[in-house]
Amino acid sequence: MSILEARDLGIRFGGLWALKGVNLSLTDGEVHGLIGPNGSGKSTFFHLVVGRFAPTTGEVLYRGKALTRLSPSQRARLGIAIKFQITSLFEGLTVAENIEIGIVGRQTSMRQLVWGGSGRGGPSREDNDELLELVGLQDRRNDLAGNLSHGQKQWLEIGMALATDPELLLLDEPTSGMGTEETRKTAELVLRLKGSRTILVIEHDMAFVRQVADSITVLSKGEVLTEGTYESVKDDQRVIEAYLGKGRVRDAS
Amino acid sequence: MASLGSSRLRRGIAGLIGPSDGEGARRSKERPFALASKTLLFAAAVGVASFFWGGRGGVDQATLWLIFGMLAVGVDVWWGYAGLLSFGHGVFFGLGAFGYAWITTGSLPWFSFLGQTPLAGALFGVVAATAMGALVAYFLSYGRVTGAYFCIVTMALSFLLAALAQGTPLFGGFTGLGGVPPLGIGRFSSSGGAAMLAIVAVTLTVAVYLLRWLLNTNLGRVIDGSRENETRIEYLGANVPKLRVMMMALSAAVSGLAGVFFAAHSGYVSSDLLGMGISTEAVIWVAVGGRMTLIGPVIGAVAVRAAGYALSGVATSFWQLFLGLVIVILVLVGGNGIVGLGRATTGWIRGKMAKKPAVGKAPT
């Protein structure tokens, strides 16, 4: 059964269709890559899923349920979590507090929030440590999130998203601005999560995509160009043209 | 180095309406008992000092300052923790005061079934203020009014209500309502003096304890999140508007209770209590005492009011100027008021004593 399904999804900003007639379906438990040149609508697709924008046409279904009328927080409570392209953290709070907020953020009942303290249904120190270790930030737990390096901020945001225990995790360029070693660690993290959650990842680093993604959707100018495995997509003439421009001869690697 | 000054200034100003610089949040899990003890100690010290300084009249003055401190605690709950600067807390203070006055003087025929006891008046005042707080927060939170716009709307609300009250007989028009009875149960009544100071001090202590306790729960963490990054916390699943309505209701309840005490203590209420003057002054008390500290607003209110009282005799016209100067310095330095200064100092001393650098950097 598909966990996420976009049907004829489109959004128009002024005269520009940022996305048009997009159909996309995610299988439970897969890691799906969303690639395409800059401006092809990848991030816009994420924003439509989490509810930052409302679609002009079509709809997004989550486990068969239409999301259109739900607010971002309601969608998050259904089990959708996102790491934004530009990291969005609680920079004035510590790393551990960021994770803690991720854990309790989904709770909306006042009874649970007020009485569910540490060890009483609330987040325990162990939950927190486990997540910090997963994203490799256990040594920075008492530092302000704002003082982390660019790569560490991205990991923290992934950790925060994971703290909500999501079924569907959206990662918007998790390795942007990272060095080789950091990218390798991020790929390792995604591979560790594989199977337990469905992951949709936007990424420009093709080696990374090849490593983690089970299947790939290529967007270009707001429309789905093609879909398939990495191997089938990489030699597709249309994909090469979309990335490099028609008639240009350049080595893709 | 030239840019340091301007960035400090920017941070100082942004600190007034934006998220905290992390300093307050990092210390946000102070134990409720410790904080409440300090509050009680401070209130008692103010009471004793005022007695030696001005006798019974001095104690009555000190009681008034502590009542203003309670109003400021309400402002701190909202401005400090929820992170939205309100210039309209006079509305809740005033409604608390008028609610108490109306019931105890029997000016509301619809609610005559409540009787005219001070207890019924106090209850009515707090409920009225809380309901108003929830109503205001409902429209502003679901309407996504934040930042500077929030300041302006609350300021306008305060201005509007004070103007309306001036023209309404129920609010006593320009002259206000007199003859408001003091607090009391049955035959016992406290008409000022040490008894009233004790009631205010103990209530303030209990309020600080409960607020600190509540803010230490997971609810407090989510509120931290809504202050630091509203967008982020929504994408984590928190219902920010609902949280804000709850916080504002709580904040208005505390400020409303202060209004009840004011009416009972002074025996007189007027439309000024709803207005921008007191709303603005309450914000100043919080800024002077220290935001996100709960005890800071009490210290700030007492400090500013006591200084004003002491200086008004010698320099009536300079008082406002002096107050303005204090605010400008606070914004320029960007520190967290008296409490922030105290914490920085103790941190510095501890660092010296331990012969190694202080753990927490002093807030700049």
CATH number of domain containing B151: 1.10.3470
CA distance B192 to B183: 9
Q: Confidence class of residue A251 from pLDDT cuts 50, 70 and 90?
A: very low
Same domain, A147 and A93: yes
Does B285 map to a domain?
yes
Give the pLDDT of residue A107.
78
In A90-249, alpha helices (H): 95-105, 110-115, 125-134, 150-163, 180-193, 206-212, 230-234, 237-244
What is the dihedral sign for C-alpha A161, A165, A169, A173?
Answer: positive
From chain A, pick out residues whose CB is under 8 angstroms from the CB of B242. Answer: 108
Indicate whether A45 and A75 sit together in one domain: yes
Chain B positions touching A72 (Cβ under 8 A) are 234-235
Containing structural domain, residue A50: 1-79+170-178+200-253
Which chain B residues are closer than 8 Å to A160 by Cβ?
Answer: 236
d(CA A227, nearest CA chain B) in Å: 28
Query: Is the whole model's pTM more than 0.90, yes or no?
Result: no
Q: Which one is predicted more confidently, A244 or A23?
A: A23
Structural domain ending residue among the three candidates A165, A188, A216: A165
Q: Which of B21, B217, B234 sits opposite A92 (nearest CB)?
A: B21
Under an 8 A CB cutoff, do A100 and B221 touch? yes
CA distance B297 to B39: 11
**Can you give the pLDDT at residue A122?**
57
Residue contact A90–B217, C-beta within 8 A: no
* A93 interaction partners in chain B (CB closer than 8 Å): 22, 25-26, 224-225, 228
Q: How many residues does chain B have?
A: 364
Residue A13 lies in a domain: yes
Q: Is the pLDDT of residue A157 over 90?
A: yes
Question: B218 and A88: CB-CB below 8 Å?
Answer: no
Does residue A195 belong to any structural domain of this protein? no
Domain edge (last residue) among A138, A165, A192: A165
Question: Which residues 6+ apart lie within 8 Å of B46 measured at CB?
Answer: B62, B65, B66, B302
Domain residue limits at B234:
29-315
Residue B67 lies in a domain: yes
Work out the minimum CA distance from B224 to partner chain A, whole angstroms.
8
Residues of B with CB under 8 A from a CB of A: 19-22, 25-26, 214, 217-219, 221-222, 224-225, 228-229, 231-240, 242, 246
Helix ranges (DSSP H) in B269-360: 276-289, 296-312, 316-333, 337-353
- CA A186, CA A180: separation in Å to the nearest integer? 10
Q: Which residues of A touch B233 (CB under 8 A)?
A: 90, 101, 105
Q: Which residues pair with A71 in a beta bridge?
A: none
Cα–Cα separations (whole angstroms), residue A27 to A5, B171, B332: 9, 65, 56
DSSP summary character for residue A53: S
Q: Give me the percent of chain A exceeding a pLDDT of 70.
A: 93
Name the domain count of chain A: 2
Same domain, A161 and A124: yes
A13 and chain B in contact, CB less than 8 A = no
The enclosing H or E element of A9 equals: strand A2-13
Task: Examine residue A184 and state whether it is found in any structural domain, yes or no.
Answer: no
> What is the Cα–Cα distance from B158 to B87, expressed in whole angstroms?
7
pLDDT (0 to 100) of residue B361: 47
The answer to whether the CB atoms of A164 and B22 lie below 8 A apart is: no
**Same domain, residue pair A57 and A110:** no
Q: Is residue B348 domain-resident?
A: no
Which residue in chain A is spatially nearest to B218 when comparing CA positions? A113
Task: Flag whether B191 is in a domain.
Answer: yes
Counting Cβ atoms within 10 Å, is residue B358 exposed (0-12), middle (13-18) or buried (19+)? middle
Q: Which of residues 89-108 of A touch B (CB under 8 A)?
A: 89-94, 97, 100-102, 104-108
* Residue B357 belongs to some domain of the structure: no
Q: Which residues of B90-104 are buried (b: 16+ CB within 10 A; e: fewer)?
A: bbbbbbbbbbbbbbb
Amino acid at B269: V
Rounded to the nearest angstrom, the minimum Cα separation between B25 and chain A is: 7
A252 found inside a domain: yes
Closest chain A C-alpha to B174 CA, distance in angstroms: 43
Closest CA of chain B from A29, distance in Å: 21
Task: Tell me, yes or no, if A113 comes closer than 8 A to chain B by beta carbon.
Answer: yes
Q: Which of B25, B26, B218 sits opposite A104 (nearest CB)?
A: B218
For residue A223, tell me if it sits in a domain: yes
Six-digit token string for A144: 């302000």
Question: What single-letter amino acid sits at B188?
Answer: F
> What is the bridge-based pairing of β-strands A198-202 and A16-27?
unpaired
Q: Name which of B26, B224, B238 is nearest A73 (Cβ-Cβ).
A: B238
Q: Backbone dihedral region of B262: left (phi > 0), alpha (psi from -120 to 50 degrees) or beta?
A: alpha
Same domain, A75 and A101: no
CB B104 within 8 A of CB B277: no
The CATH number that applies at residue A238 is: 3.40.50.300
Residue stretches of chain B with pLDDT short of 50: 1-6, 8, 21-22, 24-27, 358, 361-364
Q: Tell me the pLDDT tens digit for each residue of B197-249.
A: 999 999 999 999 999 999 988 899 999 999 999 999 999 999 999 999 999 99
pLDDT confidence of residue A224: 94
Q: Is the same domain home to A70 and A129?
A: no
Residue B102 lies in a domain: yes
Q: What is the ipTM of this complex?
A: 0.90
User: Do both A73 and A132 map to the same domain?
Assistant: no
- For residue B311, tell me if it sits in a domain: yes
Total tally of structural domains belonging to chain B: 1
Per-residue model confidence (pLDDT) at position B2: 39
State whether residue B106 is helix, strand or coil.
Answer: coil
According to DSSP, residue A27 is labeled E
A4 lies in the same domain as A75:
yes
B298 in any annotated domain:
yes
